[in-house]
Amino acid sequence: MVARILERVDAAQLGRRVAQDALSEAEACTWWRRAEMLEWARPRPEDWPGNATPAELAERDRKLAAQARAARNHAELLARHLLDFEGEL
């Protein structure tokens, strides 16, 4: 089955897509957007909690806040050209 799928893969198109994804990941704006989306996903008091307990909501909020902070830090490093991608390709 895998062999049949691979026969239909356009290698040039796949290569372009991989390059596009790599370039996108290397842009600070991508990471700032990711941080914004993570902040947006944090639980808010007016949200309906479903079956989640207050402790579960607090844990989710803590994790999303930490992920957003990491994304902002990554964006800042990229914006200041402090990340070196030499040899990682």
How is the chain split into domains, by residue range? 27-79
pTM for this prediction: 0.69
Reported confidence tier of residue 87, pLDDT bands at 50, 70, 90: very low
User: Which is more confident, 7 or 58?
Assistant: 58
Task: Name the residue with tokens 């957003």.
Answer: 68
d(C-alpha 41, C-alpha 36), whole Å: 9
pLDDT given for residue 89 in this prediction: 39
pLDDT given for residue 85 in this prediction: 58
d(C-alpha 71, C-alpha 35), whole Å: 5
pLDDT given for residue 86 in this prediction: 54
d(C-alpha 5, C-alpha 16), whole Å: 18
Flag whether pLDDT at 22 surpasses 60: yes
* The length of the chain, given as a count of residues: 89
Decide: 21 and 13 in contact? Cβ < 8 Å: no
For the chain, the average pLDDT equals: 86
